[in-house]
Amino acid sequence: MTSKERVLTAIAHQQPDRVPINYIANPGIDGRLKAYYGLRPDDNEGLYRVLGVDLRRVAAPYTGPALHAPVPDRVIDMWGIRRRWIEHESGGYWEYCDFPLRDATLEEIEAWPFPDSDHFDFAAAAEQCRQLGEYCIVAGGPGFVDIINHSGMVRTMEQVLVDLLTDDPACLRLIDRRLEVELAIAARTLEAAKGLVDLFYIGEDLGTQQGPLISLELFRKHFRPRHQRMIDLAKSYNLPVMIHSCGSSSWAFDDFIEMGIDVVDTLQPEARDMAPAYLKSRFGDRLAFHGCISTAGPVAYGAPDDVTANVRDTLEIMMPGGGYILSPTHQLQDNSPTENVAAMYEAGKEYGLY
């Protein structure tokens, strides 16, 4: 099978030749993996091929002007989100900071610069699809439609959660302004690459390790209607939809199914009601799964043999009948030993054969 056929077969709850494989990683471990396999630091495609990765994400690059004034020691993106570099023991992160819309009024939200969909190169996205035609082409991403995280990056997560509970008009307008831009970007991407995209990807972190981050009532009030607009757009192009959520999120899966979601991503096995056996038995006939290999488990803290056993056990549960894509539960972290990550992908190819 081609990679495209392999992924689409699995999503359709049929058994492909082997379990499809995906890869996401922080820059530190990504660089170490490339060195481990004798690849150039910029050879992303070479690494994907070595690991057997079956999916490729495409996006229309932003070509417009800078929308926000520079700030010393900060990186600022087109949405006005600010980041600063914070070192840690095994590397570092670009952490969100400053939160320029923390106390913004409705009027200030209306005046905040947002990107225009006219300033994206949709032809470039279509060309990416044509060049990667043998793979499963994924449009969107785990941040598409994401309400809590992206709003929190400029307003603080705490304030956004309060705003959602109190129906704060400024925050709701911030959410809807971003959604309108993302809908326009998605629509123009899918039209430019019509027939070339295979899977649409959205996201919303809905859980902690212990349980839901928000109530089902709040999800249905503020999240579901907004997510539904993007899902309906993808379905108008006959695309399956995958949603990302960290933490305990299976409490929302019945709603996901009603909304037309086909695949759920992340699936942290240590979180409440997220064990592979529970997910497969409870939802396996209605949802496909992408993830389950914890970045906080043997990949980070075990030995290569522990990683191999973890992957093998997960595959024994998730493989039957198709419906599973092997992937880490989050970006592979810099504290993961290189040999462990290599063992994860070797085990996926060895034990993922049907």
Q: Are 22 and 327 in contact (CB under 8 A)?
A: yes
Please tell me the total count of domains within the chain: 1
Instruction: Return the HEC string of the chain.
Output: CCHHHHHHHHHCCCCCCECCECCCECHHHHHHHHHHCCCCCCCHHHHHHHHCCCEEEECCCECCCCCCCCCCCCEECCCCCEEEEEEECCEEEEEECCCCCCCCCHHHHHHCCCCCHHHECHHHHHHHHHHCCCCEEEEECCCCCCCHHHHHHHHCHHHHHHHHHHCCHHHHHHHHHHHHHHHHHHHHHHHHCCCCCCEEEEECCCECCCCECCCHHHHHHHHHHHHHHHHHHHHHCCCCEEEEECCCCHHHHHHHHHHCCCEEEECCCCCCCCCHHHHHHHHCCCCEEEEEECCCCHHHHCCHHHHHHHHHHHHHHHCCCCCEEEEECCCECCCCCHHHHHHHHHHHHHHCEC
- Whether 12 is covered by a domain: the verdict is yes
Q: State the pLDDT at residue 94.
A: 93
- Whether 323 is covered by a domain: the verdict is yes
- Whether 81 is covered by a domain: the verdict is no
Q: Are 266 and 245 in contact (CB under 8 A)?
A: yes
- Strands 263-266 and 241-245 come out as parallel
- Whether 92 is covered by a domain: the verdict is no
CB atoms within 10 A of CB 331: 15
Q: Are 325 and 21 in contact (CB under 8 A)?
A: yes
Q: What is the pTM of this model?
A: 0.97
Q: State the pLDDT at residue 30.
A: 97
Q: State the pLDDT at residue 267.
A: 97
Residue 11 to residue 5: CA distance in whole angstroms: 10
Mean pLDDT by 10 residues, the chain (354 residues): 98 98 96 98 98 98 97 97 92 94 98 98 98 97 96 98 98 98 98 98 97 98 98 98 98 98 97 98 98 97 98 98 97 96 98 98
Domain range for 279 is: 3-67+101-351
- Whether 305 is covered by a domain: the verdict is yes
- What are the structure tokens assigned to 77, written together? 């993106």
Q: Taking Cα atoms as reference points, which of 121, 126, 120, 153 lies closest to residue 139? A: 126
- Whether 199 is covered by a domain: the verdict is yes
Q: State the pLDDT at residue 88.
A: 86
Q: State the pLDDT at residue 89.
A: 86
User: What CATH number is attached to the domain comprising 149?
Assistant: 3.20.20.210
Q: Could you give the angle at the alpha carbon of 235 between the alpha carbons of 233 and 241, nearest 5°?
A: 100
- Whether 166 is covered by a domain: the verdict is yes
Phi and psi (nearest 5°) for 20? Answer: -65, 155
Residue 222 to residue 214: CA distance in whole angstroms: 11
Q: Are 85 and 60 in contact (CB under 8 A)?
A: no
Residue 264 to residue 199: CA distance in whole angstroms: 12
- Whether 215 is covered by a domain: the verdict is yes
